[in-house]
Chain A
Amino acid sequence: MIFLGLFRESILFAINALVVNKLRTILSLLGITIGIFAIITVFTIVDSLEQNLRKSVQSLGNDVVFVEKWPWTFGPDYPWWKYMNRPDAEYTELDAILRKCDGAQAAAFVVSSNITVKYKSSSIENVTIICASHQFDKVKNFEIAEGRYFTEIESEAGRPVAIIGDVLAKTLFPYQSPIGQWIKVHGAKVMVVGVFKKEGESILGGSPDTQVLVPVQYARSIIDIRNNNLDPQLLVRAKSGVSNDDLIDELTGLMRSIRKIQPRAEDNFALNQTSLISNQFDKLFDIVGVAGWIIGGFSILVGGFGIANIMFVSVKERTNIIGIQKSLGAKNYFILLQFIFESIFLSLIGGIFGLIIVYIITLTAGDSFGMEITLSKSNIILGFTISILIGVVSGFVPAYGASQLDPVEAIRAS
């Protein structure tokens, strides 16, 4: 009970300090507010970016191996001239993989390009067209919100059917269902049989919301799928229980035999997996996190000095009161805790303001970043922790000084 009273009294003193010396206190608290704002903003953006990246990588498939020309590794020693001369992945290689690869659950051949899509007088330019073989739905993670996926006959016979993204559906067919409607893809008529479920922007680009999926056998009639600008890929998903490494080992041997590569010759293909992308981004996020940590750290340090300054002044101003309290029987720890609570409370006010600013930014700036930014529970905890820690560290020395005052000397102080 005595602690509750002490706590209440400290809060009242802190509020009094705020009210009596508004400008002085606000300027001192500004350091903590800016520090918490800087650190938590950086952590919030990094966390949100990471979350979006993981979502994007997950949509590519964690257990999918991409057979293509270019490896997904970057750096100063990237021998692009060597990779440029490699042959592209071909549709004929898909057959061999499907027949011979024991570790593969499904595989698909995919090419993509940018085209114009039309419906009556509406037209959308630069739409990504994905031309894929039948098992694409088994290697790529997506959901169909309306309609259906292609039948095997449609895929193999190359029927003019398409699945379109949510944004395309809403733009081309604002007042009707797109299912069964005929759109013009690259000048050719294609019937819409399905609409992808809305996924939102992807950090890696290529959101299905703005894509059109057609069978690759049909795409042959409207675009040159052997054109190496279309970035042909073979997507192979591992069977459950088969690790990506095992699948890569098997695919390496298989692709070498398909392409008849000599035993001592280098591979002329790359086997990529999504972890390569996330590893590259992890390094980047670490650097951004450390940068935010350094910038915010200095602000917090300055804020801590501000709080310590307020507390020293507060002790000086209330020396008489401390003397009276002690002469009336207040223990040293009572005075000590009184000032520490006050320091923590002041620091918390600064921290809370910082967190509120971050929260307002997450509400308003999400659209500018093109992704959802959320202030996570862990970052709120971190903000409060830093505030309390700075309050304790910067307030302890003045508080301890106050607790050690001689009551007679303290009462005499003017």
Chain B
Amino acid sequence: METAIRKRPVLITTVCIIGFIWIVGSLPAVFSPSIKKLGDWYPALFGFLVAACFISYIGLWHMKRWGAHVFIGAFFLKEIILIMIDDVSYPGFVISVFFIACMTAYYKKMDVNL
């Protein structure tokens, strides 16, 4: 078992902190009236995305590759949904792409194990 403690770069720490703040802000949005108005299943879908992002940030905090994988998967799913409901947020898109770039830069230093 690989037990080496990997040092977390400042950039990834910053990404995680911003991510956790975003999660705290997004959790109440799951059951906000505006999301509910989009359709019966949108709160569930949005809730799944928030949970996936939360898990990915915990993975990244521990410098795990699966954190990056989950984040990228959640990012694509989120963008598909936003395109479907015609509510694409360009600042949000740019920030997510920046986060992915940061993860890619340190990807090789991340742990492959769970």
| Interface residue ranges, A against B (CB under 8 Å) | 39, 43, 46, 286, 289-290, 293-294, 296-297, 300-301, 331-333, 336, 377-378, 381-382, 384-386, 388-389, 392-393, 396-397, 400, 403, 406
B86 within 8 A of A: no
Residue-wise interface mask of B (11-45) relative to A, using a CB-CB cutoff of 8 A (1 in contact, 0 not): 00000000000010001101111001000110110
Answer whether A389 and B51 are a contact pair too, CB < 8 Å, given A296-B31, A378-B40, A396-B58: yes
Q: When chains A and B are docked, how far (Å) is the Cα of A327 from the Cα of B58?
A: 25
Measured CB to CB, the closest approach of chain A to B48, in angstroms, equals 8
Residues of B within 8 A of A388 (CB): 47, 51
Residues of B within 8 A of A396 (CB): 54-55, 58
Q: When chains A and B are docked, how far (Å) is the Cα of A46 from the Cα of B36?
A: 12
Q: Are A333 and B47 in contact (CB under 8 A)?
A: no
The residue that A386 contacts in the complex, of B31, B58, B62, with Cβ under 8 A, is: B31
The residue that B33 contacts in the complex, of A286, A332, A403, A406, with Cβ under 8 A, is: A286
B103 within 8 A of A: no
Answer whether A333 and B114 are a contact pair too, CB < 8 Å, given A293-B28, A296-B31: yes
A sample of 17 inter-chain contacts (CB < 8 A) reads: A43-B33, A46-B33, A290-B33, A293-B32, A301-B27, A332-B113, A378-B36, A381-B41, A381-B43, A381-B44, A382-B36, A385-B31, A386-B30, A388-B47, A393-B27, A393-B51, A400-B62
B50 within 8 A of A: yes
The residue that B30 contacts in the complex, of A43, A332, A385, with Cβ under 8 A, is: A385
Q: When chains A and B are docked, how far (Å) is the Cα of A289 from the Cα of B31?
A: 10
Residues of A within 8 A of B36 (CB): 43, 378, 382
Q: When chains A and B are docked, how far (Å) is the Cα of A224 from the Cα of B63?
A: 84
Q: When chains A and B are docked, how far (Å) is the Cα of A286 from the Cα of B114?
A: 44
Measured CB to CB, the closest approach of chain A to B108, in angstroms, equals 22
The residue that A392 contacts in the complex, of B32, B51, B62, with Cβ under 8 A, is: B51
Instruction: Point out which of A43, A332, A386 has the most chain B C-beta atoms below 10 A from its C-beta.
Output: A386
Report the nearest B residue to A39, measured CB to CB: B31
Q: Are A297 and B31 in contact (CB under 8 A)?
A: yes
Q: Are B114 and A385 in contact (CB under 8 A)?
A: no
Q: Are A293 and B31 in contact (CB under 8 A)?
A: yes
Measured CB to CB, the closest approach of chain B to A164, in angstroms, equals 40
Q: Are A393 and B54 in contact (CB under 8 A)?
A: yes
Report the nearest B residue to A377, measured CB to CB: B40
Residues of A within 8 A of B58 (CB): 396-397, 400
Residues of B within 8 A of A296 (CB): 31
Q: When chains A and B are docked, how far (Å) is the Cα of A340 from the Cα of B41?
A: 23
Measured CB to CB, the closest approach of chain A to B3, in angstroms, equals 8
Residues of B within 8 A of A381 (CB): 40-41, 43-44
Report the nearest B residue to A292, measured CB to CB: B33
Answer whether A385 and B55 are a contact pair too, CB < 8 Å, given A286-B33, A293-B32, A332-B114: no
Q: When chains A and B are docked, how far (Å) is the Cα of A377 from the Cα of B39?
A: 11
Residues of A within 8 A of B54 (CB): 392-393, 396
Measured CB to CB, the closest approach of chain B to A347, in angstroms, equals 12
Report the nearest B residue to A35, measured CB to CB: B31
Q: Are A382 and B51 in contact (CB under 8 A)?
A: no
9 further A-B pairs in the complex, CB-CB below 8 A; given A43-B36, A385-B43, A396-B55: A293-B33, A294-B28, A301-B27, A378-B36, A389-B47, A392-B54, A393-B51, A403-B114, A406-B3
Residues of A within 8 A of B3 (CB): 406
Q: Are B47 and A385 in contact (CB under 8 A)?
A: yes
Measured CB to CB, the closest approach of chain B to A38, in angstroms, equals 11
Answer whether A382 and B31 are a contact pair too, CB < 8 Å, given A388-B47, A392-B55: yes
Residues of A within 8 A of B44 (CB): 381-382, 384-385
Q: When chains A and B are docked, how far (Å) is the Cα of A68 from the Cα of B105?
A: 70
Instruction: Point out which of A289, A300, A382, A396 has the most chain B C-beta atoms below 10 A from its C-beta.
Output: A382
Residues of A within 8 A of B50 (CB): 389, 393
Q: When chains A and B are docked, how far (Å) is the Cα of A385 from the Cα of B36?
A: 12
Measured CB to CB, the closest approach of chain B to A237, in angstroms, equals 30
Answer whether A389 and B30 are a contact pair too, CB < 8 Å, given A377-B40, A381-B44, A382-B43: yes
Residues of B within 8 A of A389 (CB): 27, 30, 47-48, 50-51
Residues of A within 8 A of B43 (CB): 381-382, 385-386
